[in-house]
Amino acid sequence: MRDGLNTDLHLDIGNGVSVEKVDKFCYLGDVLDADGGCDSAVTTRVGSAWKKFREYLPILTGKGFSLKLKRYLCEELSDAWQ
């Protein structure tokens, strides 16, 4: 055992309590990597943004919706990226 790490992928945090070691996990909506990188977080955020965009695509491309509504949705979707 080195630095509290067991070979069976568990971390001993004391008092007989151990937690499973994982490569990445979601915390407060953000994906954290074991190596401290942000690749998973960026990939997850981009995927979420595309999912939301596809959700509104029928409104943005539909002929039965006003330009005012389409403009509003575009502004709201772009504000989400800032």
Name the helix (H) or strand (E) containing 68.
helix 67-81
Q: E strands within the chain?
A: 10-14, 17-20, 24-27, 30-33
14: its two tokens: 């004391």
Residue 24 contacts residue 33 (beta carbons within 8 Å): yes
Averaged over successive runs of 10 residues, the pLDDT of the chain (82 residues) comes to 54 82 81 80 85 90 93 83 62
φ, ψ of residue 34 in degrees (nearest 5): -65, -30
pLDDT score, position 8: 63
Question: Which pLDDT score is estimated for 57?
Answer: 92
Give domain limits for the chain.
10-81
